[in-house]
Chain A
Amino acid sequence: MTEIIDLVLLAMLAITALSVIFIKDLFTVVMLFGIYSFLSALIFVNLDAVDVAFTEASVGAGISTVLMLGTLALTGREEKSSSRKTTLPLLVVCVTGAALIYGTLDMPPFGDPNNPAQQHVAPRYINDSPREIGLPNMVTSVLASYRGFDTLGETAVVFAAAIGVLSLLGLPKQDRTVIQSGLKSHLVLRVVAKMIIPLILLFALYVQFHGDYGPGGGFQAGVIAAAALILYALVFGLPVATHVVPPKVLKILAALGVLIYAGTGVVSLFLSANFLDYSVLASNPVAGQHIGIIAIELGVGITVFAAMLSIFYAFAGQAERKNIQ
């Protein structure tokens, strides 16, 4: 039964990917990308990888669709047809694809219990993490503690992406006078948005602090919180949103999250342990791990929230300027 579901989902994934290539209307392409992300999230759920599915759904289908729509508002929705010859690029793509397929022939058989991935670190995480870290959600212990260094890198990448966008576009200034703009005529939308924005923020906090016990964590929580404020900015207008969360604060928050993460590592260095080894943060190693994981997840959440929201502010500010001119 799961094979059938997998096959159907993968076929739909392939169809979506092909239509993304052939459709020239960029708005449709963005929507198809959202569908693509949702389909892959469903595949991850079917593989029992709930954490990855959650991330894919919130980041891939949620926030990146919004950000791409923000880009479309600046660039226009038709793809330009290029007049260049396509034989050489096609050849390069075909050769690269053939090389990649040739490479997969050397891969170990799919799902074999004797694969290196199943033999090497996975049994160690499964056997030792309940004793060493003691979190019910093993994904969080791997992500935040065993692989803490990688996650620090990911957080830094998000931070760097925000810096890149902001250095190109710049953040909008906070307006002194608050003008209600946005969707003035959409009364239903405003009422519903007022009702659900607090719920979304509450859910973001739940995901942030429940990540140790269930699926979730800093990345998803940051994105969900940013989505709540993006909804606010869309419905009530960018000036009001910049009044609630000023762009200046966002700049500080984005850096603060990375600082909390790296700072936790430095604290464990000062307590004579390895960088990001949380066992020394409390007298009991397991309690130390818990403190460390909560601290770094908080850092991840703050950085992701601030980075996503400031990227949206940058796009929306540009679009608004374009409208005025």
Chain B
Amino acid sequence: MLEIISSALLILGAFFSLTGAVGLFKFPDFFTRVHAASVTDSIATILIILGLMLRSDFDLVLVKLLFILVFMLLTGPAAAHALAKSARHGGLLTLAETRGNKKESDD
């Protein structure tokens, strides 16, 4: 039973990772890409590590996986936030804003 749940979690995690990678290539501008990568990364991390935890023998490995999970959940979103904020700081506009600017200049 545990095996099945853990397999399901692992496959689901891999699927979310894949969708993140697809989004990274397919989405039109920088901010949507960061969004795709970071959001799917977080959920994939949770799912994969939960799946691995169910496969461990409830010993030290489980605790180590828990630490990794906490660390990843702290650093991943923070890194994505820093990336997006730096881009914003550097003057990069979102797609909607660039389109709006174009319209204004056209009018």
A residues apposed to B, CB below 8 Å = 183, 185-186, 188-189, 192, 195-196, 199
Provide the residues of chain B in CB contact with A183, threshold 8 Å.
82
Cα distance, A186 to B71, chains bound together (Å) = 19
Provide the residues of chain A in CB contact with B75, threshold 8 Å.
192, 196
Chain B interface size band reads under 10
A188 close to B71 (CB less than 8 A): no
Q: Pick the contact of B81: A189, A195, A196 (CB < 8 A).
A: A189
Provide the residues of chain A in CB contact with B85, threshold 8 Å.
185-186, 188
Q: How far is the CB of B49 from chain A (nearest CB, A)?
A: 17
Contact pattern, B 51-85, Cβ under 8 Å of A = 1, otherwise 0: 00000000000000000000100110010011001
Q: How far is the CB of A57 from chain B (nearest CB, A)?
A: 14
Cα distance, A293 to B75, chains bound together (Å) = 34
B81 close to A185 (CB less than 8 A): no
Provide the residues of chain B in CB contact with A185, threshold 8 Å.
85, 89
A-B contact count (CB 8 A): 20
Q: Pick the contact of B82: A186, A195, A196 (CB < 8 A).
A: A186
Main secondary structure of the interface of A (DSSP, over half): helix
Main secondary structure of the interface of B (DSSP, over half): helix
B89 close to A192 (CB less than 8 A): no
Provide the residues of chain A in CB contact with B82, threshold 8 Å.
183, 186, 188-189
Q: How far is the CB of A125 from chain B (nearest CB, A)?
A: 27
Q: How far is the CB of B25 from chain A (nearest CB, A)?
A: 15
> Can you list 12 contacts pairing A with B, beta carbon distance less than 8 Å?
A185-B89, A186-B82, A188-B78, A189-B78, A189-B81, A189-B82, A192-B74, A192-B78, A195-B74, A196-B71, A196-B75, A199-B71
Residue of B nearest to A195 (CB): B74
Contact pattern, B 81-102, Cβ under 8 Å of A = 1, otherwise 0: 1100100010000000000000
Q: How far is the CB of B10 from chain A (nearest CB, A)?
A: 15
Cα distance, A231 to B1, chains bound together (Å) = 43
Residue of B nearest to A185 (CB): B89
